[in-house]
Structure 1
Amino acid sequence: MKRRLPDLEAWAIFARVAQLGSFSRAARELGLSDPTISKAITRLEARLGLTLIARTSRRIALTDAGHVALERAIRILDEGEAVEEEAVEQASTPRGRVRVSAPLSFGVGYLGPILPRFFETYPEIVVDLALSDRKVDLVAEGFDLALRIASLDDSSMLSRRLCTMRLFLVAAPSYLERHGTPSHPAELVRHQALIYTGGSLRDTWRFAHPFLGENTVQPAIRMWSDNAEVHNPALIAGQGLAIQPEFMIWREVQAGKLTIVLPEWSITPLSLHLVMPPSPLRPKRVQVLIDYLAAELAKAPWAMEN
């Protein structure tokens, strides 16, 4: 049986139509006519014997078969673009847009200050930075890379661990003067907690001691938030305790505004990762940004070796 080559062009067009949700928008972006887009999808469906996109006069929607095929179709499109871009960029200056996702507080505090030096080195690269504590879908949302401070659970993504970050239980000296300084995690049930809802600790705090073993506690909760940095003003004002990553409180600890509580008890640290879509092919503009971020963030005062 003669083997047929896949219709790569039609798969790439299908991916773009699905991403944009419109035949006409895909045609404009790709510089093709509406009939060309429609014929490519029809040709692909005829080849497969399946309907990938349900069409009505007002909208389109992916069928179940279309949803199943979409991730690999996007990968075909991305890898085709990456191959062409990589070939062109090998002999030219890196240029173009790089889409980056990063946690809000980390992006403001640490990406913003180091990007100007990157722009000086690579003046033709544009960084499209989306700051949010939401975990984005890199492939579906079209991101080139993401910075994540967490344990990774998506094995389909490529990742590069940059450093380890310690977590500390902290409070203001004024809070400890009023409520007392805990000497054991069990005493925290009598204290007010400021809780970051995006982490793994949430309402249960876990501590480990080299001689006393592990201890878990559920403190009384004064405040919940999906952004940890918003707790700092309340912490400094003496309104409770919180477990915070070192990058967020090291200046306040040095200045005496916050105190590390239970310093002999440790909390499982976090890791800072660069996460990338599964394709091993990356445009040069993306690779130089990855290398730059890895080198710069490893120098941070809170960064620990892996």
Structure 2
Amino acid sequence: MTARTNDLECWKLFCLVVEKQGLNAAADFADIEPSRLSRVINSLEAELGSPLLVHNRRPLQTTSFGDQAYAMAKALLAQHALMLETLKDDKDRMEGLITLAIPAGIGPLFVTPQLLEFQQIFPKIEFELITLTSKAEEVFYNHPEKVVHVSIGYGVPGTGDIVSRYSGKMEFIPCCSPSYIKKHGHIVDPSECAVHTGLSYTGGTR
């Protein structure tokens, strides 16, 4: 169970009790039961090991420890609110079109699901996908029609002023025709590959 002292909502309720000068007034303002507020305050005090309020006294009073906790909690809540506002503003400001070059065949399976997840977070960003027809690092300079912002490709990362990031392995499975299998048989152990003929495709994108 998460400690109440680690829950920002509990500190928000504590500050509300202090500002409204009573559990009932705070409960009415927050539209919750006073008993819930009482449990929150009791839990905070139990975990901290010191009383926050002077209990059984009207109007409500805070202890000196409670005064310190209130001041620090208000500062923490204000910082948290600023953090959320800043992050939301930054997300809202991120908009525009990103052109992405990818090798043919891997888009629907490997790329599109990731783009859809990205757009859930940044809905104002759009993507235009084009087919990669040359090495990933060359497409930034040699694409004839438009500026390419991001490219996905195989091989050793580019050098120079291109920022690259390794994203993991792309496995390739060797295959052969039925007639080849009929003539030479199945490969059971990798060591048997030495006696077979293989063709490795090398193109502009791999």
Q: Tell me the TM-score normalised to structure 2 length.
A: 0.42
The structure whose residues are more often helix, as a share, is 2
Q: Which has the higher contact order (CA 8 A, sep 6+)?
A: 1
Highest Rg: 1 or 2?
Answer: 2
The structure whose residues are more often strand, as a share, is 1
